A and B are shown apart, each in its own frame.
Chain A
Amino acid sequence: MQQLETLTREARALANGDVVPGSPEAEVARQLQICNACRYCEGFCAVFPAMTRRLSFNAADVHYLANLCHNCGACLHACQYAPPHEFAVNVPQAMAKVRLQTYTDFAWPSALGKLYQRNGLTLSLATAGALAFFMMLTLWLKDTLWRVPASADFYGIFPHNLLVSLFAPVFLFAVLALSLGLRRFWREVTPGRDYEAPVIAAVQGGAALEATHDVLRLKYLDGGHGEGCHNEDDAWTKKRRAFHHATFYGFMLCFAATSVATLYHYLFGWVAPYDLPSLPKILGAVGGVLLLIGTAGLYWLNLRRHPQHGDAAQKPMDRGFIALLFFTSLTGLGLWGARGTAFMPATLALHLGFVMALFLTLPYGKFAHGFFRSAALLKWTIEKRLPSKLKVGDE
């Protein structure tokens, strides 16, 4: 009976868009009720100004605010209600738990959302599978993993069209899955719902510019005072932001290298490998090195992270993703050195295996955080330009 009542209550809550009692969303709603009566943290980031525009927090609000949160830790260390206080306010941790729920709930297809729940397993199986696949493929095609190739050309091992036929569908699927998930998030988690479409349209341009700026500069890891965020204690550090920048821009440069190479191949018929000082090589080399430094730094910081920051259960997801990026970059750079040597076939198989594992798990791993957070930031830059509907106190 008890269980039936619980189920009925949950069903009703879901139908109303209310938070389900006992859920991660309910915990965020509970904490924000306390925060909204205090407001000391307003200057740190966008979460708290967005909070003050609300009196209560339904499921959509909670997912929006949770994805605005960058887990910088500032509000936890500043909180007079943080544990051991009986109010037990730990906003970054509660928000992190909801974000996992966001990724799970908004994954496409939704059945695969479960992959977030055991992400360490997901990533290791994907990596093991992809590595084994390319090792076997190499053996099958070349009978060996260990031989000086006839030419320095990777396509001598894996023909170009074979690689495209393997990677293009996986990559396009990842783009499709992420886009569909993001579209649903954008529609369902809409703070602008209470405003007329023309009102929103009038502010969209400026909002998009500001959001882009905030994303590209990681504005909300600056602590609101520009001194940085927290990692192991209540002191500020600029390291997290710097290493994240190295990772993000390293990744983007590598992506640019691949895109330019694709254009070279199809538009000009210039076939890889490219050498210095060609554009793909420069982009790839700089991006690869940045990615190595960034991910190594983020991993080091993650190991030293304050135990109350974020959700400990998500460490496998965070570290797994960091490791995938690191080894993708490492094997990519290794391939440069291994060209024309006996190491090349095996190194190539390794690199392609890591890239494949990365692509396969893009829509079901930490990679998704960037998309949901960017969307939440755009929502905020729109919302802050619209007049508040509250008339509280002497505002």
Chain B
Amino acid sequence: MSLDVLVIGGGNAALCAALMAREAGASVMLLESAPKEWRGGNSIHTRNLRCMHDAPQDVLQEAYPEEEFWLDLLKVTGGLTNEHLARLTIRASSTCRPWMIKHGVRFQPSLSGTLSLSRTNAFFMGGGKALVNAYYRSAEKLGVQIRYNAAVDRLDIQDGQFKAAYIGDERIEAKACVLAAGGFESNREWLREAWGQNADGEWPADNFLIRGTRFNQGVLIKDMMRHGADMIGDPSQSHCVAIDARAPLYDGGICTRLDCVSLGVVVNKHAERFYDEGEDFWPKRYAIWGRLVAQQPGQIGYSIIDSKAVGRFMPPVFPGIQADSLPELARKLGLDEAAFMQTLNAYNAACRVGTFDHTALDDCHTQGITPAKTHWALPIDTGPFYGYALRPGITFTYLGLKVDERAAVHFGGQPSDNLYVAGEMMAGNVLGKGYTAGVGMSIGTAFGRIAGTEAAKAALNIKDTEKQRAAA
């Protein structure tokens, strides 16, 4: 029996596509490159979906209207977005949850420490891996064929038409195909090439950690470039946050983030400060610190706090390097003691302490040093002192395939009539740069569902045509 829809990928977008195609009556096979225990791509590290809603819902407070969501997106992308596709995503986010629930996803109120998201984001109970598990269970029950360890390395595309996918020598034909195989952030060679060499002769990307799956090698992005598909997004751009330097090379996920930057100072390997740590609330600033650290020599930074900060930020996954005095801390962190003390003494002397309030943009700031610290500037003077080394952590890449509202892959401006794409491989259409919590899952869910529906439609059309031809 020939296959209607082939879905390449195994995360949220791929599963949404497979489920929708199967529900539309198509026979579906899903190819996940990872083994079963690592299935789900970056989706297993997610925790919520940014949701438009006009009134309070089960786990969503107040309202988050289309216009506000759109303006948020416009702000974080700096206009690098397609309004038509963005609004499509936003509207889809307001109607997709009943379908998600039908397939076994459950929601929970916003987590402790994330009050700022309780209005805008619907949290998955148990997080993204629970969501992925639910979708796989539902897909199995509906009769989607699922293969693990099935890494597709190239596609057979003729005149913009999908013919088959290859796993090594194995050829898998299908009437239509959905690509949802993630970005290329786990491909260290490609990252190295994209980031290039800096003025000091370093290859910064060699010091990056990957926050998500090791399986996003970008094989199919490369293959689609070879086929001349229309691309979108800057390959040197990626979502990059500052994380604990002790995080594992892959799959460190959410817990490796470090939330104490705004409560202290950050120095580079020469023990010098390089940016205003108190510019804005941490949830609004964590995404720029990855790039800031990436631009420092050795791609490393050190967040320094004193005991006044303990208990005021989300507990970190690894304990900080602890010392009873600042010189001792410098030695333990391997920093030049004299330079470190000069930086810290200058900072401490420059603090103009008003009324400290880490829940507001308070009036504690520095005077006469560069860079200034504009809020939450308290002298670092109460031992024990703590230091956390920071590295850039890559969450995802923006380079992808250009699509229309039907999620069709384009060749020379023309949409393919049986090849579709969803998830990280096309998120750049909506999110050209920047990030706002949960928007990746909104895009993946919206376009995964569209791609699945369209692929099923295309496959069933081809079937009808074949039948008519056979009858004639």
* Chain B residue with the shortest CB-CB distance to A44: B126
Complex alpha-carbon distance, A44 and B123, angstroms: 13
Contact A395 B310 (CB under 8 A): no
Complex alpha-carbon distance, A121 and B112, angstroms: 45
Contact B133 A391 (CB under 8 A): no
Complex alpha-carbon distance, A86 and B252, angstroms: 9
Residue A393, interface by CB 8 Å:
yes
How many B residues are at the interface, by size bracket?
Answer: 35 or more
Stretch at the interface among B198-206, B264-272, B314-322, B347-355: B314-322
Residue A187, interface by CB 8 Å:
no
B116 contact set on A, CB distance < 8 A: 394
| Residues 16-44 (chain A) with a chain B CB within 8 angstroms | 33-34, 36-44
Pick the contact of B255 from A41, A77, A81, A84 — CB < 8 Å? Answer: A81
Contact A235 B315 (CB under 8 A): no
A235 contact set on B, CB distance < 8 A: 137
A81 contact set on B, CB distance < 8 A: 253, 255
Complex alpha-carbon distance, A235 and B137, angstroms: 7
Residue of A40, A41, A78 most packed against chain B (CB within 10 A): A40
Contact A78 B137 (CB under 8 A): no
B115 contact set on A, CB distance < 8 A: 393-395
* Chain B residue with the shortest CB-CB distance to A40: B127
Pick the contact of B315 from A37, A86, A87 — CB < 8 Å? Answer: A37
Residue B185, interface by CB 8 Å:
no
Pick the contact of B106 from A41, A79, A227 — CB < 8 Å? Answer: A227
Contact B114 A394 (CB under 8 A): yes
Known: A55-B310, A81-B253, A392-B314. A42 touches B108 (CB 8 A): yes
Known: A38-B255, A39-B113, A392-B313. A44 touches B125 (CB 8 A): yes
Contact A234 B137 (CB under 8 A): yes
Residue A334, interface by CB 8 Å:
no
Stretch at the interface among B37-45, B327-335, B448-456: B37-45
Pick the contact of B112 from A34, A42, A74, A85 — CB < 8 Å? Answer: A42
Known: A55-B310, A55-B315, A390-B311. A85 touches B251 (CB 8 A): yes
* Chain B residue with the shortest CB-CB distance to A84: B37
Known: A34-B317, A44-B125. A234 touches B283 (CB 8 A): no
Residue A225, interface by CB 8 Å:
yes
B251 contact set on A, CB distance < 8 A: 80, 85
Contact A40 B111 (CB under 8 A): yes
Complex alpha-carbon distance, A235 and B253, angstroms: 24
Contact A34 B127 (CB under 8 A): no
B283 contact set on A, CB distance < 8 A: 394
Contact A80 B44 (CB under 8 A): yes
Known: A55-B310, A235-B137, A392-B311. A38 touches B253 (CB 8 A): yes
Contact A86 B248 (CB under 8 A): yes
| B148 nearest CB across to chain A (Å) | 14
Complex alpha-carbon distance, A111 and B37, angstroms: 43
A391 contact set on B, CB distance < 8 A: 311-312, 358
Residue B254, interface by CB 8 Å:
yes
Complex alpha-carbon distance, A34 and B315, angstroms: 9
Residue A52, interface by CB 8 Å:
yes
Contact A40 B112 (CB under 8 A): no
Known: A235-B137, A392-B314, A394-B283. A40 touches B113 (CB 8 A): no
B248 contact set on A, CB distance < 8 A: 86-87
Residue A298, interface by CB 8 Å:
no
A52 contact set on B, CB distance < 8 A: 112-113
Contact B312 A392 (CB under 8 A): yes
Known: A79-B129, A85-B251, A234-B133. A55 touches B311 (CB 8 A): yes
Contact B311 A394 (CB under 8 A): no
Complex alpha-carbon distance, A256 and B254, angstroms: 51
* Chain B residue with the shortest CB-CB distance to A89: B255
Complex alpha-carbon distance, A84 and B38, angstroms: 8
Residue A192, interface by CB 8 Å:
no
Residue B259, interface by CB 8 Å:
yes
Known: A37-B317, A55-B315, A391-B311. A78 touches B259 (CB 8 A): no
Residue B65, interface by CB 8 Å:
no
Contact A392 B113 (CB under 8 A): yes
B123 contact set on A, CB distance < 8 A: 43
A393 contact set on B, CB distance < 8 A: 113-115, 259, 313-314
Residue A49, interface by CB 8 Å:
yes
Residue B130, interface by CB 8 Å:
yes
Contact A225 B111 (CB under 8 A): no
Contact B255 A37 (CB under 8 A): yes
Contact B37 A394 (CB under 8 A): no
Residue A75, interface by CB 8 Å:
yes
Complex alpha-carbon distance, A225 and B255, angstroms: 24
Known: A80-B251, A86-B248, A391-B311. A37 touches B316 (CB 8 A): yes
Contact A80 B129 (CB under 8 A): yes
Contact A43 B129 (CB under 8 A): no
Query: How would residues 435 to 472 of chain B score, 1 for a CB under 8 Å from any chain A CB and 0 otherwise?
Result: 00000000000000000000000000000000000000
Residue of A39, A224, A395 most packed against chain B (CB within 10 A): A39
Contact A78 B126 (CB under 8 A): yes
Contact A40 B126 (CB under 8 A): yes
Contact A38 B254 (CB under 8 A): yes
Contact B312 A78 (CB under 8 A): no
Residue B109, interface by CB 8 Å:
yes
| A140 nearest CB across to chain B (Å) | 60
Complex alpha-carbon distance, A40 and B111, angstroms: 7
Residue B154, interface by CB 8 Å:
no
* Chain A residue with the shortest CB-CB distance to B316: A37
Complex alpha-carbon distance, A227 and B111, angstroms: 21
Residue B158, interface by CB 8 Å:
no
A34 contact set on B, CB distance < 8 A: 255, 317
A33 contact set on B, CB distance < 8 A: 315, 317-319
A75 contact set on B, CB distance < 8 A: 126
| A359 nearest CB across to chain B (Å) | 41
Complex alpha-carbon distance, A330 and B317, angstroms: 51
What are 24 A-B pairs with beta-carbon distances under 8 A? Answer: A33-B318, A37-B315, A37-B317, A38-B255, A40-B111, A40-B124, A40-B128, A43-B106, A43-B125, A44-B126, A55-B310, A77-B126, A77-B130, A77-B133, A78-B129, A79-B129, A80-B44, A80-B129, A85-B251, A235-B137, A392-B112, A392-B113, A392-B312, A394-B115
Q: List the 7 closest A-B pairs by CB distance, nearest first.
A: A43-B108, A40-B127, A78-B126, A37-B255, A78-B130, A393-B113, A37-B317
Could you tell me which B residues sit within 8 Å of A by CB distance?
A: 37-38, 44-45, 47, 106, 108-109, 111-116, 123-130, 133, 137, 248, 251, 253-257, 259, 281, 283, 310-319, 358-359
Could you tell me which A residues sit within 8 Å of B by CB distance?
A: 33-34, 36-44, 49, 52, 55, 74-75, 77-81, 84-87, 224-225, 227, 234-235, 390-395
* Contacts beyond the supplied A75-B126, A394-B113: 12 A-B pairs with Cβ under 8 Å: A33-B319, A34-B317, A37-B256, A37-B257, A38-B127, A55-B311, A79-B129, A234-B137, A390-B311, A393-B113, A393-B114, A393-B259
